[in-house]
């Protein structure tokens, strides 16, 4: 049966590190407070003039190089992001142009922190249908541009970066076994960026009210996330006739170490089977899973025929999972 298979990965994070110690000088916080509540030690911050499409480009070039293919062979380019270069055009179009991927259509997906998996669902459907054979999927964010550096509860969380995968049509046992995506817009107020759209267009009033920065109700989001992610992974396992013990590696969205640990505990999975790079990168939204996946793949934590699960939870609210045989 035809499957969509990830044939290569790539990632990129900016060189600038913003440590908890530096944040102590900016807002009323401490390294201890941040570590206890999030598990983050540092996060990467894009340089001045370094845009989301620049981050995406670096990750994409690496993935293409590792696959040994040219950008001109791509059918589709999908970029998952909530921090695109501009409202118009899609960041994927900037990426397509820079890669000189002249044969590829390009578009963005906005599903917040679940965006990469929503993109994976789209790519999987395209390939399984036979419509397209080779797809570049990138999760890329420059969240630092939309972070309120005066809000001690949110400014400690976010970082910048990009991760990419190349997917191809393939026969055999390896490939994506399932992708499931979900949304519940009734929870939109838990995590949002109100300014810049038609509801609160750019204005002096919107700027004064700091509406162009990310807003989050952390405690409420935490409770919904833990409950939702446990069921999400259990449902994904049951759908594929698998047990928790069959998981070689869980690659979660890197939002909060307490959420990741709570989900693993409820599933009966040891943390040795969970990919965590949150301490180094912070929450990079749609980029977090592909960055973590690339690190796991290139460091030898994923081996051929391993069953891995990707899972995410984000603004919308949205949540998603994918089961992959590597």
Topology agreement, domain 3-172 and domain 177-325: yes
The pLDDT tens digits for 264-277 are: 998 899 999 999 99
Percent of the chain with pLDDT over 90: 88
Average pLDDT, stretch 118-127? 98
The mean pLDDT value for 150-170 works out to 95
Range 255-264 average pLDDT:
91
pLDDT tens sequence across 179-198: 999 999 999 999 999 998 99
- For domain 3-172, give its CATH number from 1.20.140.10, 1.20.1270.10, 1.10.10.10, 3.40.47.10: 3.40.47.10
CA distance 293 to 286: 12
Which residue in the block uniquely carries the two structure tokens 């919904």?
Answer: 224
| Residues 53-74 pLDDT 10s | 999 999 999 999 999 999 999 9
Q: What value does the mean pLDDT take over residues 211-236? A: 88
Catalytic residue list contains 281: no
253 tagged catalytic? yes
Q: Is 283 a catalytic residue?
A: yes
Provide the mean pLDDT of the chain.
Answer: 95
**Which segments within the chain are labelled E, that is strand?**
3-12, 16-19, 42-45, 76-80, 105-109, 134-142, 160-170, 175-183, 191-192, 215-216, 249-252, 307-314, 318-325
In the chain, where are the structural domains located?
3-172, 177-325
* Distance of alpha carbon 105 from alpha carbon 196, whole angstroms: 26
| Residue of 93, 113, 155, 281 marked active site | 113
What is the CATH code for 177-325? 3.40.47.10
> Whole-angstrom Cα distance, residue 33 to residue 36?
5
Q: Say which of 51, 124, 253, 277 is annotated catalytic.
A: 253
Phi-psi region of 210 (alpha: psi -120 to 50; beta: other; left: phi over 0): left
How much is the pLDDT for 284? 97
- Give me the mean pLDDT over the 250-256 stretch: 94
> Which pLDDT value is given to residue 306?
95
pLDDT computed for residue 2 by the predictor? 87
pLDDT of residue 39: 94
Q: What pLDDT does 267 receive?
A: 87
- β-strands 249-252, 134-142: how paired? unpaired
């Amino acid at each position: 049966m035809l499957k969509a298979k990830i044939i290569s990965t790539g990632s990129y994070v900016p060189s600038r590190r913003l440590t908890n110690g530096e944040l102590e000088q900016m807002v009323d916080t401490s390294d201890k407070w941040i570590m206890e509540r999030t598990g983050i030690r540092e996060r990467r911050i894009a340089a001045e003039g370094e845009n989301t499409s620049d981050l995406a480009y670096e990750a994409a070039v690496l993935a293409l190089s590792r696959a040994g293919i040219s950008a001109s062979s791509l059918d589709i380019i999908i970029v998952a992001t909530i921090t695109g270069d501009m409202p118009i055009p899609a960041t994927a179009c900037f990426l397509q142009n820079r890669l000189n991927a002249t044969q590829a259509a390009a578009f963005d997906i906005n599903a917040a922190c679940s965006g990469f998996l929503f993109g994976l669902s789209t790519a999987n459907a395209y390939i399984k249908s036979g419509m397209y054979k080779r797809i570049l999927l990138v999760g890329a964010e420059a969240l630092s541009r939309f972070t309120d550096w005066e809000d001690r509860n949110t400014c400690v969380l976010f970082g910048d970066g990009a991760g990419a995968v190349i997917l191809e049509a393939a026969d055999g046992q390896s490939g994506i076994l399932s992708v499931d995506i979900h949304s519940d817009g009734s929870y939109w107020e838990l995590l949002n960026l109100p300014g810049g759209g038609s509801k609160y267009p750019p204005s002096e009033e919107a700027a004064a009210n700091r509406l162009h920065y990310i807003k989050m109700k952390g405690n409420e989001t935490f409770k919904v996330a833990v409950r939702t992610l446990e069921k999400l992974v259990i449902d994904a396992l049951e759908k594929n006739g698998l047990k928790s013990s069959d998981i070689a590696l869980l690659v979660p969205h890197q939002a909060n170490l307490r959420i990741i640990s709570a989900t693993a505990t409820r599933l009966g999975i040891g943390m040795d089977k969970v990919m965590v790079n949150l301490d180094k990168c912070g929450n990079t939204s749609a980029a977090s899973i592909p960055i973590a996946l690339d690190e796991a793949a290139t460091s030898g934590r994923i081996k051929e025929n391993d069953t891995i699960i990707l899972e995410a939870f984000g603004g919308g609210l949205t949540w998603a999972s994918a089961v992959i045989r590597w």
